[in-house]
Amino acid sequence: MLILHCPYCGVDADETDLHAGGQAHLKREGPGSSDEDFEDYLFLRANPKGVHFERWRHVYGCGKWFHAARCTATLQVFGTYPAQTLEPPQDIKDKIADARPGWSWGDKE
Amino acid sequence: MKRYSAFAIAREAMRQHTGWDRAWAKREPKMKYDVIIVGAGGHGLATAYYLGKNFGITNVAILEKGWLGGGNTGRNTTIIRSNYLQDPSAAIYEKARSLYETMSQDLNYNVMFSPRGVIMLAQTQHEIRGYQRTAQANALQGVKTEWIGPQRVKELCPIMNIDGPRYPVLGGLYQERGGTARHDAVAWGYARACSDMGMDVIQKCEVTGVRQENGKVVGVDTSKGPIDCDKLGMVVAGHASVLAQKAGFRLPIESVALQALVSEPIKPCMDVVVMANTVHGYMSQSDKGEMVIGGGTDGFNNYTQRGSFHHIEETVRALVETFPMISRLKMLRQWGGIVDVTGDRSPILSKTPVEGVFVNCGWGTGGFKAIPGSGWAMAELMAKGQSPLTDEFSMYRFREGKFIDESVAAGVAH
Ligand SMILES: Cc1cc2nc3c(=O)[nH]c(=O)nc-3n(C[C@H](O)[C@H](O)[C@H](O)COP(=O)(O)OP(=O)(O)OC[C@H]3O[C@@H](n4cnc5c(N)ncnc54)[C@H](O)[C@@H]3O)c2cc1C
Ligand SMILES: [Zn+2]
């Protein structure tokens, strides 16, 4: 069972208490954006085999959305962090770079 | 290729079975092919087969990183049906189902197609309306399905408890000529036919890069070295995004784990396939007597070919209510596959931003049933640049808002 630490209420929550919300850090498009931009925002996904930044909701807990850095090939969790940010915190980036030589935040896709 | 027949069995019985040929030739890659297909699952193999059979294109290699049919084609619960809602879906799924009817003869390989009937149970008012609508749509599309009441469901499948406390059976959408087939045989039958046409099926050959010149494909890099080609078909299901990324574009796909399990073998007790979408479970009985059970997908992106155990528990718990007799069965094996899910639950058969590269993916939880139709259509698309069966399934439909919404028909993973 996947266990993720909720950064808000501090609970180590089982997968069954959580709801997965897909890729995190998407750029939200609005009026004036092109069809391509909207396609990108609404449908196109990195879907990497490797480190994935994703949204989770602690549905059967505090109810809040948070972010997780997790590897889709090994299920290793590098850390979780609050959703009010445009990129993951430095300590999580460092942890991933240590575990995956050559990885850097820019090429998260 | 020596044909399989009753006579061949008798002949081999007389000489201690020393005369059987390999079903398909193990080959190493050549320098160049007209067409390379990535992925030796059912869809890739069927594409190659129809390129040869319908268009005479036989300088073809099918490259597989693992082994023949080792992806979802060898991991699914083999349900075949074509009772979808939208016209483009009905066209391609019914094409596929009808090709299954004669596949064993066409391929001279027994794929054990068993049109035993498929019932999709309605267990809520919402499902009653949904399936009645599908039955009407199917009538207009020329796909033979019917809405049946609870008593008829009980007649077709006596082991079912139709008065369940939580979700009584209120009726069902019944497709008499739906059923199952032997998944490995589908892969092997196509591989044998492709090999016989002179195509190369190459295992343990992973495509690691897509070589392009001026926006056009010229070949691929593989774990067995570079190979040139004029056209490339990417048919890699759960790995579609990974391969597309190597070619430089993104897809509206997310890869998630879908699981299935089988029970210990028991005496024949169920000769139809039953799907219960509200409770998220479905079941049929294999020829060996095992109850073959499938459930829902995990919600999160995953490439591990393992799923979460709680899904197995939920599936079995849900099915026990409708099939009380399975409560004492021991479950023997459980496994997972990585399925490629699109936003509208419909597949992608499409040209791509790279000239000469075509993609066939997004079959998600339900593409086994589509293998022959998909191969037929994809071959036409690759040979002629256009196919009436694939027109609506372009990867650009999301941008255009032209969804083929099958989230109801595909409500459960199957
Ligand atoms: C548990 C489960 C139950 C299912 N039940 C049903 C059902 O009852 N009915 C139904 O219709 N469908 C069902 N499905 C869905 C069905 O199995 C799939 O839609 C279908 O098999 C997809 O076939 P494919 O040929 O596209 O993919 P696959 O069979 O997965 O083939 C793709 C191949 O590509 C190879 N590959 C990937 N990347 C590379 C690379 N870079 N280089 C070379 N090769 C590569 C893989 O190794 C793989 O063999 C189920 C799926 C699962 C997992
Ligand atoms: Zn919480």
Residue where a domain terminates, one of B303, B323, B342:
B342
Which residues from B are below 8 Å from A52, CB to CB? 301
pLDDT digit of tens for each residue in chain B (414 aa)?
A: 789 999 999 999 999 999 999 999 999 999 999 999 999 999 999 999 999 999 999 999 999 999 999 999 999 999 999 999 999 999 999 999 999 999 999 999 999 999 999 999 999 999 999 999 999 999 999 999 999 999 999 999 999 999 988 899 999 999 999 999 999 999 999 999 999 999 999 999 999 999 999 999 999 999 999 999 999 999 999 999 999 999 999 999 999 999 999 999 999 999 999 999 888 889 999 999 999 999 889 889 999 998 899 999 999 998 999 999 999 999 999 999 999 999 999 999 999 999 999 999 999 999 999 999 999 999 999 999 999 999 999 999 999 999 999 875 555 555
Asked whether residue B187 is domain-assigned, the answer is: yes
Nearest Cα of chain B lies from the Cα of A40 at a distance, in angstroms, of: 8
Is there a domain that residue B2 lies in?
no
Q: Which fold has domain A3-107?
A: Folate-binding fold (3.30.2270)
What integer pLDDT is reported at residue B409 of this predicted model? Answer: 55
pLDDT digits (tens, 9 = 90+) for B304-316: 998 899 999 999 9
Domain that holds residue B130: 115-178+254-342
Q: Are residues B245 and B258 in the same domain?
A: no
- What ranges do the domains of chain A cover? 3-107
Tell which one of B43, B236, B256, B261 to mutate to probe ligand 1, the residue whose CB is within 8 A of the most ligand atoms.
B236
ipTM surpasses cut 0.90? yes
> Which of B252, B300, B303 lies at the smallest CB-CB distance from A49?
B303
B104 CB less than 6 Å from ligand 1? Answer: no
Do both B264 and B334 map to the same domain?
yes
Nearest bound ligand to the CA of residue A7: 2
Tell me whether B259 touches chain A (CB under 8 Å): no
Same domain, B275 and B355: no
Q: Are residues B333 and B261 in the same domain?
A: yes
Q: Does residue B258 share a domain with residue B174?
A: yes
Q: Are B189 and B333 in the same domain?
A: no
What pLDDT was estimated at residue B123?
A: 94
Quick one: three-class SS letters along chain B?
CCCCCHHHHHHHHHCCCCCCCCCCCECCCCCEEEEEEECCCHHHHHHHHHHHHHHCCCCEEEECCCCCCCCHHHCCCCEECCCCCCHHHHHHHHHHHHHHHCHHHHHCCCCCCECCCEEEEECCHHHHHHHHHHHHHHHHHCCCCEEECHHHHHHHCCCCCCCCCCCCCCEEEEECCCEECCHHHHHHHHHHHHHHCCCEEECCCCEEEEEEECCEEEEEEECCCCEEEEEEEECCHHHHHHHHHHHCCCECEEEEEEEEEEEEECCCCCCCEEEECCCCEEEEECCCCEEEEEEEEEEEECCCCCCCHHHHHHHHHHHHHHCHHHHHCCEEEEEEEEEEEECCCCCEEEECCCECEEEEECCCCCCHHHHHHHHHHHHHHHHHCCCCCCHHHCCCHHHHCCCCCCCCCCCCCC
User: Ligand 1 atom closest to Cα of B81?
Assistant: 11
Q: What is the pLDDT of residue B143?
A: 97
Is pLDDT above 60 for A86? yes
Do B174 and B259 belong together in one domain? yes
**Same-domain status, B244 and B127:** no
Q: Residues of A with CB below 8 A from B251's CB?
A: 44-45, 47
Q: How confident is the model at residue A109 (pLDDT cuts 50, 70, 90)?
A: very low
Q: Across chain B, what does the average pLDDT equal? A: 95
> Into how many domains does chain B fold?
2
Same domain, B222 and B142: no
Same domain, yes or no: B379 and B264: no
Task: Say which of B239, B309, B399 has its CB closest to residue A35.
Answer: B399
Residues B188 and B332 in one domain: no
Residues B267 and B337 reside in one and the same domain: yes
Q: Which ligand is nearest to the CA of A59?
A: 2
Residue B70 maps to which CATH number?
Answer: 3.50.50.60
- Assigned domain for B42 exists: yes
Ligand 1: residue of B64, B76, B360 to mutate (most ligand atoms within 8 A of CB) is B76
For A21-67, write each residue's pLDDT tens digit: 999 999 999 999 999 999 999 999 999 999 999 999 999 999 999 99
